[in-house]
């Protein structure tokens, strides 16, 4: 069965790029434009990986990650956080111990796929 | 257990690997790694053949081995002649294992090889520049993961497994106050690890594995010599006693003694004396070892068990029945108020589904296993036809049911044969059209939803519709006075008895055509689609279901009977007044501005009942749409697909049957066939 990935990102263009890159790799991708949309996607489904932006309307990445980690079935799910170079350090401190890896924007799709594959092992 | 049978199975596997390596070779001829692999396979083959009385296999693989040992040592250069000879030898070896008497061929090949050897004496001045097989390097990896590393979504077990895949390695576990397995189960890591790894992956390969770990959680030391363990940076992590250092050195020596011997000349002297010492002390040493240190020895390859398909089928059958049984229980208990029962049911449900997934997973094999066959086909066909073809593959790790891959082989080969024969032009022709001499043949595959797609794309001439039209008229399949769309012409091309080759070539004109391909694909519930652009090439797309036996269906009711519709084909359902639906004479509905025919199942099965409300189900299968009118929808059900037997094959509006949760039978509808 193909792995299921939730992508939360409010910026349409980058979300579309991520979704199409992942779909090409054969993953089942569910997309959300903000944190609260993303939380709904976890309800009653199996999700293998969350890729989320930090800054989003309604519910930001940190809250989303907190909500998801609080769900029983997702306490050990890999989570990849999209950040920009500048903010990384700050966010890193805040998110330490909760996420699997950072993906710096802009990213190279090949590296991106490599990281996703690795996270899903 | 029949040892000979076991040997034959194993040897067949070795031959397959050998073939794959050989074909690798063709693409990247200078890869010393592959040369070594080929050599190793031949050696394995030879080693066990004699024991089981396959003396010809032994003889032949021995001769081949000598050729590849020369290549490996740089005495001889790998060339096309040797490759052809070896590939031919692989075929002969296969025949020998099958019990065929191919002694003559064996002698012929051996004669050819000996000829090579004599040639070598004459040309001994020229020493090849080919490198010796890839360097093994040694590393010590210190892993000191945070206790809560799992909470970060990092699967520490996967990291360990990846390290083991890199090469030969040995783990030394420190601070194992809780057994390591228990730590993994609790998802809390207390221990830290010293890992001695010998690998060809290089430092970058090792660092890739620990990509997600924090810099503070790992450290990689390349093994530069025996003084590593006493060096200052290393001692920051652990202060080792003399005995412990010795122990680590003996581990490295056990894997690859060259690592310590070759690098540091001054140190080499000490080590030379050491092996004897360590052998002697090996027994007591492990006893002496601190209690918190444990050694796990792991070999390089992941273990594989080969299982008879029959046993597998049996397992799948049982699992399939369990799935039905699960539905039955679900059905029986659907209105239970008891929460504990409901919870237990839910657990059962989850487990059954997991069991099903892993049972089906066993049957899944990557498409990769077809690769060598396809490559060889392309090689031989393009040689035969004087065409040059570059074969590119992508997504060969896509997995499919084993039986499906078997069924795919013939149609894929046929499509490829066709593409090279009819599609790709001769190098001269291509040059005159400003295309590179080498034709391009691409093989993509990928998963999407519960389907696997396989695409074969060539950059040849494309499908010549004029030719198809002319041929179709000639064969009486098309009418002269009518114009046809490209889609129609393609479907004619795939109908029985159609072959467009100007003259019948041995390659694609075997009396069977695309119709057989289409039939084969349909038989495994797949579809084939063709798109083409004149002068630029064509793409054949195969769409295949992931598994053959489990199907998500919609249960519908018509009078007293239940029927099943594959959910993947259902696009939309709605209710409609009977009168409104049947008011017009033409049996069509307007769905999203598109008129489409509908079939009332009651009418179709000759049931004379009337209802006020009807349920309309819009079916969309490959963009062909039809609506089906039923009494009501009962629900969704996962069913096990059972094909109909020969007697029912004439009723083609049913594609199969299935047992429902309550034990009753239902037929699976093939809606598109209802039209006629």
Select the highest-mean-pLDDT range: B134-138, B229-233, B429-433, B509-513: B429-433
A1 at B interface, C-beta within 8 A: yes
Q: Is the pLDDT of residue B65 over 90?
A: no
The pLDDT-based confidence of B293 (bands split at 50, 70, 90) is very low
* pLDDT-wise least confident of A27-31, A67-71, B436-440, B660-664: B660-664
Mark yes or no for CB contact B148/A77 under 8 Å. no
Three-class DSSP category at A22: helix
Instruction: Give the per-residue pLDDT at B229.
Output: 84
The pLDDT-based confidence of B457 (bands split at 50, 70, 90) is very high
- The more confidently predicted of residues B608 and B287 is B608
Residue among A76, A79, A99 whose CB faces B187 most closely? A76
Structure-token pair, residue B84: 């052809």
Decide if B265 is inside a domain.
Answer: yes
Average pLDDT (B64-85) is 79
Residue among B150, B398, B446 whose CB faces A76 most closely? B150
* pLDDT-wise least confident of B233-237, B436-440, B596-600: B233-237
Residue among A26, A97, A121 whose CB faces B155 most closely? A121
Q: Is the pLDDT of residue B534 over 70?
A: yes
Mark yes or no for CB contact B212/A99 under 8 Å. no
* pLDDT-wise least confident of A53-57, B153-157, B278-282, B345-349: B278-282
Residues of B in contact with A110 (CB under 8 A): none
The pLDDT-based confidence of B649 (bands split at 50, 70, 90) is low
Residues of B in contact with A76 (CB under 8 A): 150-151, 153, 155, 187
Select the highest-mean-pLDDT range: B477-486, B528-537, B581-590: B528-537
A25 at B interface, C-beta within 8 A: yes
Let me know: does B471 contact B420? Beta carbons within 8 Å. Answer: no
Residue among A26, A100, A121 whose CB faces B152 most closely? A100
- The interface residues of chain B toward chain A in range 558-577, judged by CB-CB distance below 8 A, are none
Nearest-CA distance B446 → chain A (Å): 6
Instruction: Give the per-residue pLDDT at B264.
Output: 41
* pLDDT-wise least confident of A101-105, B9-13, B24-28, B437-441: B24-28
Mark yes or no for CB contact B447/A2 under 8 Å. yes
Instruction: Give the per-residue pLDDT at B227.
Output: 80
Instruction: Clarify whether residues B597 and B500 are in a common domain.
Output: no
Three-class DSSP category at B44: helix
Residue of A nearest to B147 (CA): A97
Q: Count CB atoms within 10 A of the CB of residue B250.
A: 19
Candidates A37, A40, A85; CA nearest to A57 is A37
Instruction: Give the per-residue pLDDT at B221.
Output: 87
Instruction: Give the per-residue pLDDT at B382.
Output: 86
Chain B interface disruption, residue of A1, A94, A99, most B CBs within 10 A: A1
Mark yes or no for CB contact A77/B449 under 8 Å. no
The pLDDT-based confidence of B539 (bands split at 50, 70, 90) is very high
Mark yes or no for CB contact B153/A99 under 8 Å. yes
Domains of chain A: residue spans and CATH: 4-119 (3.40.50.2300)
DSSP string for residues in B591-629: ETTEEEEEEEHHHHTT-----SEEEEEEEEETTEEEEEE
Instruction: Clarify whether residues B466 and B539 are in a common domain.
Output: yes
Instruction: Clarify whether residues B595 and B449 are in a common domain.
Output: no
Share in percent of chain A as helix, strand, coil (round to 5)? 45, 20, 35
CA quadruple A11, A16, A21, A22: dihedral sign: positive
Instruction: Clarify whether residues B184 and B288 are in a common domain.
Output: yes
Mark yes or no for CB contact A100/B154 under 8 Å. yes
Average pLDDT (B613-626) is 83
Select the highest-mean-pLDDT range: A94-103, B123-132, B454-463, B641-650: B454-463
Decide if B132 is inside a domain.
Answer: no
Instruction: Give the per-residue pLDDT at B131.
Output: 34
B188 at A interface, C-beta within 8 A: no
Select the highest-mean-pLDDT range: B141-155, B243-257, B277-291: B141-155
Chain A interface disruption, residue of B146, B152, B157, most A CBs within 10 A: B152
Candidates B410, B411, B407, B397; CA nearest to B369 is B397
Q: How many helices (H) and strands (E) does chain A have?
A: 5, 5
Q: Is the pLDDT of residue B52 over 80?
A: no
Size of interface A-B (CB pairs under 8 A): 50
Residue of B nearest to A72 (CA): B151
User: Model pTM greater than 0.80?
Assistant: no
The pLDDT-based confidence of B481 (bands split at 50, 70, 90) is confident
Instruction: Give the per-residue pLDDT at B584.
Output: 74
Nearest-CA distance A24 → chain B (Å): 7
Distance CA(B235)–CA(B228), nearest Å, equals 9
Instruction: Clarify whether residues B147 and B60 are in a common domain.
Output: no
Three-class DSSP category at B145: coil
**pLDDT above 70 covers what percent of chain B?**
84
Per-residue model confidence as pLDDT tens digits over B88-112: 888 888 888 888 777 888 888 888 8
Candidates B302, B167, B173; CA nearest to B223 is B167
Mark yes or no for CB contact B395/A26 under 8 Å. yes
CA angle B483, B484, B486 (to 5 degrees): 140
Per-residue model confidence as pLDDT tens digits over B362-397: 777 888 888 888 888 888 888 888 888 888 888 888
Instruction: Clarify whether residues B11 and B114 are in a common domain.
Output: yes
A100 at B interface, C-beta within 8 A: yes
Q: Which of B365, B383, B409 is the last residue of a domain?
A: B365
The pLDDT-based confidence of B118 (bands split at 50, 70, 90) is low
* pLDDT-wise least confident of B412-416, B447-451, B627-631: B447-451
Q: Which residue has the tokens 């930001």?
A: A60
CATH number at residue B593: 2.30.30.40
Instruction: Give the per-residue pLDDT at B3.
Output: 67
CA distances from B91 to B37, B372, B406, B617 (A): 18, 13, 19, 54
Residues of B in contact with A121 (CB under 8 A): 155, 158, 161-162
Q: Looking at residue B178, what DSSP letter applies?
A: S
Residue among B151, B162, B447 whose CB faces A75 most closely? B151
Nearest-CA distance A96 → chain B (Å): 8
Instruction: Clarify whether residues B281 and B263 are in a common domain.
Output: yes
Decide if B131 is inside a domain.
Answer: no
Residue of B nearest to A114 (CA): B208
Region of B449 on the Ramachandran plot (φ > 0 left; ψ -120 to 50 alpha; else beta): left
Chain B interface disruption, residue of A3, A19, A26, most B CBs within 10 A: A26
Q: Count CB atoms within 10 A of the CB of residue B352.
A: 18
Residue among A23, A25, A79 whose CB faces B153 most closely? A79
Q: Looking at residue B73, what DSSP letter applies?
A: T
Residue of A nearest to B358 (CA): A1
Three-class DSSP category at B574: strand
B448 at A interface, C-beta within 8 A: yes
Nearest-CA distance A25 → chain B (Å): 7
Q: Which of B489, B515, B545 is the last residue of a domain?
A: B545
Residue of A nearest to B159 (CA): A121
Decide if B303 is inside a domain.
Answer: no
Total of domains in chain B:
5
- The more confidently predicted of residues B282 and B81 is B81
Structure-token pair, residue B427: 């190098």
Instruction: Clarify whether residues B224 and B266 are in a common domain.
Output: yes
The pLDDT-based confidence of B6 (bands split at 50, 70, 90) is confident
Distance CA(B220)–CA(B194), nearest Å, equals 10
The pLDDT-based confidence of B327 (bands split at 50, 70, 90) is confident
- The interface residues of chain A toward chain B in range 44-83, judged by CB-CB distance below 8 A, are 69, 75-79
Instruction: Clarify whether residues B328 and B241 are in a common domain.
Output: no
Q: Is the pLDDT of residue B296 over 60?
A: no
Decide if B304 is inside a domain.
Answer: no
Residue among B153, B211, B447 whose CB faces A26 most closely? B447
Decide if B452 is inside a domain.
Answer: yes
CATH number at residue B516: 3.30.565.10
The segments of chain A whose pLDDT lies below 70 read: 1, 85-89
Mean pLDDT of the residues in chain B: 78
Residues of A in contact with B148 (CB under 8 A): 97
Instruction: Clarify whether residues B586 and B468 are in a common domain.
Output: no
Domain interval for residue B536: 367-545
The pLDDT-based confidence of B273 (bands split at 50, 70, 90) is very low
- The more confidently predicted of residues B145 and B46 is B145
Structure-token pair, residue B361: 């997973």
Distance CA(A83)–CA(A61), nearest Å, equals 10
Three-class DSSP category at B155: coil
Instruction: Give the per-residue pLDDT at B274.
Output: 38
CA distances from A29 to A15, A101, A102 (A): 11, 19, 19
Q: Is the pLDDT of residue B119 over 70?
A: no
DSSP string for residues in B621-640: ETTEEEEEEESEEEEEEEEE
The pLDDT-based confidence of B456 (bands split at 50, 70, 90) is very high
The pLDDT-based confidence of B46 (bands split at 50, 70, 90) is confident
Share in percent of chain B as helix, strand, coil (round to 5)? 50, 20, 30
Decide if B662 is inside a domain.
Answer: yes
Q: How far apart are the first and last CA of chain A?
A: 14
Let me know: does B167 contact B199? Beta carbons within 8 Å. Answer: yes
* pLDDT-wise least confident of B16-25, B260-269, B569-578, B610-619: B260-269
Q: Count CB atoms within 10 A of the CB of residue B410.
A: 13
DSSP string for residues in B548-561: SSEEEEEEEEETTE
CATH number at residue B341: 1.10.287.560
Decide if B127 is inside a domain.
Answer: no
Q: Looking at residue B370, what DSSP letter applies?
A: H
Q: Which of B327, B350, B365 is the last residue of a domain?
A: B365
Instruction: Clarify whether residues B173 and B271 are in a common domain.
Output: yes
Residues of A in contact with B160 (CB under 8 A): none
Report phi then psi at B126, rounded to 5.
-85, 110
DSSP string for residues in B372-425: HHHHHHHHHHHHHHT--EEEEEE-TT-EEEHHHHHHHHHHHHHHHHHIIIIISP
Please give, one letter per residue, the 3-state secondary structure of B500-516.
Answer: CCCCCCCCCCCCCCHHH
Three-class DSSP category at B453: strand
- The more confidently predicted of residues B518 and B495 is B518
Instruction: Clarify whether residues B107 and B158 are in a common domain.
Output: no
């Amino acid at each position: 069965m193909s792995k299921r990935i939730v992508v939360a990102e409010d910026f349409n263009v980058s979300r579309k790029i991520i979704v199409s890159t992942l779909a090409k790799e054969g993953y089942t991708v569910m997309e959300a434009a903000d944190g609260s949309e993303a939380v709904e996607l976890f309800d009653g489904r199996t999700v293998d990986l969350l890729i989320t932006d930090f800054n989003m309307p309604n519910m930001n990445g940190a809250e989303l990650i907190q909500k998801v980690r609080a769900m029983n079935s997702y306490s050990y799910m890999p989570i990849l956080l999209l950040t920009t170079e500048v903010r990384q350090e700050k966010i890193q401190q805040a998110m330490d111990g909760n996420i699997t890896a950072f993906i710096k924007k802009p990213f190279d799709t090949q590296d991106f796929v490599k990281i996703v594959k690795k996270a899903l092992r | 257990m029949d040892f000979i049978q076991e040997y034959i199975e194993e040897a067949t596997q070795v031959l397959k690997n050998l073939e794959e390596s050989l074909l690798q070779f063709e693409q990247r001829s200078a890869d010393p790694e592959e040369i070594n692999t080929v050599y190793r396979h031949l050696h394995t083959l030879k080693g066990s053949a004699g024991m089981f009385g396959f003396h010809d296999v032994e003889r032949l693989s021995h001769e081949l081995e000598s050729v590849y040992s020369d290549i490996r040592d740089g005495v001889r250069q790998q060339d096309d002649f040797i490759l052809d000879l070896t590939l031919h030898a692989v075929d002969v070896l296969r025949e020998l294992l099958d019990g065929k008497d191919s002694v003559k061929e064996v002698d012929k090949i051996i004669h050819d090889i000996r000829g090579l050897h004599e040639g070598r004496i004459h040309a001994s001045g020229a020493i090849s520049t080919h490198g010796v097989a890839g360097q093994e390097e040694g590393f010590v990896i210190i892993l000191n993961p945070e206790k809560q590393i799992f909470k970060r979504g990092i699967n520490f077990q996967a990291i360990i497994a990846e390290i083991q895949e890199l090469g030969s390695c040995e783990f030394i576990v420190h601070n194992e106050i809780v057994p390591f397995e228990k730590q993994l189960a609790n998802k809390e890591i207390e221990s830290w690890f010293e890992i001695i790894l010998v690998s060809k992956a290089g430092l970058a390969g090792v660092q890739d594995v620990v990509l997600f770990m924090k810099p503070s959680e790992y450290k990689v030391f390349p093994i530069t010599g025996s003084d590593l363990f006493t060096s200052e940076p290393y001692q920051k992590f652990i202060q080792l006693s003399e005995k412990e250092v010795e122990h680590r050195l003996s581990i490295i020596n056990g894997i690859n003694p060259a690592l310590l011997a070759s690098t540091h000349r001054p140190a080499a002297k000490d080590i030379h004396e050491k092996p004897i010492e360590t052998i002697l002390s090996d027994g007591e040493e492990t006893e002496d070892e601190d209690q918190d240190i444990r050694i796990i020895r792991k070999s390089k390859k992941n273990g594989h068990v080969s299982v008879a398909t029959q046993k597998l089928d049996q397992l799948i059958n049982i699992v399939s029945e369990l799935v039905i049984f699960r539905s039955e229980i679900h059905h029986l208990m659907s209105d239970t108020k008891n929460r504990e029962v409901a919870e237990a049911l839910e657990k059962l449900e989850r487990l059954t589904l997991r069991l099903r997934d892993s049972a089906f997973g066993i049957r899944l094999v990557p498409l990769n296993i077809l690769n060598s066959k396809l490559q060889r086909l392309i090689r031989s066909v393009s040689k035969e036809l004087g065409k040059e073809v570059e074969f590119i593959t992508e997504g060969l790790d896509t997995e499919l049911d084993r039986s499906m891959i078997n069924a795919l082989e013939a149609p894929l080969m046929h499509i490829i044969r066709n593409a090279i024969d009819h599609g790709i032009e001769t190098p001269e022709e291509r040059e005159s059209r400003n295309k590179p001499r080498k034709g391009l043949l691409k093989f993509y595959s990928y998963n999407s939803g519960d389907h696997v797609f396989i695409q074969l794309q060539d950059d040849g001439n494309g499908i010549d519709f004029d030719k198809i039209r002319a041929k179709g008229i000639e064969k009486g399949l098309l009418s002269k006075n009518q114009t046809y769309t490209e889609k129609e012409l393609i479907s004619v091309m795939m109908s029985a008895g159609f072959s467009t080759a100007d003259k019948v070539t041995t390659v694609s004109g075997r009396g069977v055509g695309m119709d057989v391909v289409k039939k084969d694909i349909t038989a495994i519930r797949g579809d084939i689609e063709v798109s083409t652009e004149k002068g630029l090439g064509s793409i054949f797309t195969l769409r295949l279901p992931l598994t053959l036996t489990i199907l998500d269906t919609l249960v519908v009711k018509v009078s007293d009977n239940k029927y099943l519709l594959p959910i993947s084909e259902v696009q939309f359902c709605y209710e409609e007044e009977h009168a409104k639906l049947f008011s017009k004479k033409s049996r069509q509905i307007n769905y999203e501005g598109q008129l489409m025919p509908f079939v009332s199942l009651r009418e179709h099965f000759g049931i004379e009942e009337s209802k006020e409300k009807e349920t309309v189900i819009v079916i969309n299968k490959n963009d062909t749409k039809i609506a089906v009118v039923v009494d009501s929808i009962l629900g969704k059900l996962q069913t096990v697909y059972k094909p109909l037997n020969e007697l029912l094959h004439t009723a083609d509006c049913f594609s199969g049957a299935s047992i429902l949760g309550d034990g009753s039978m239902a037929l699976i509808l093939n809606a598109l066939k209802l039209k006629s």
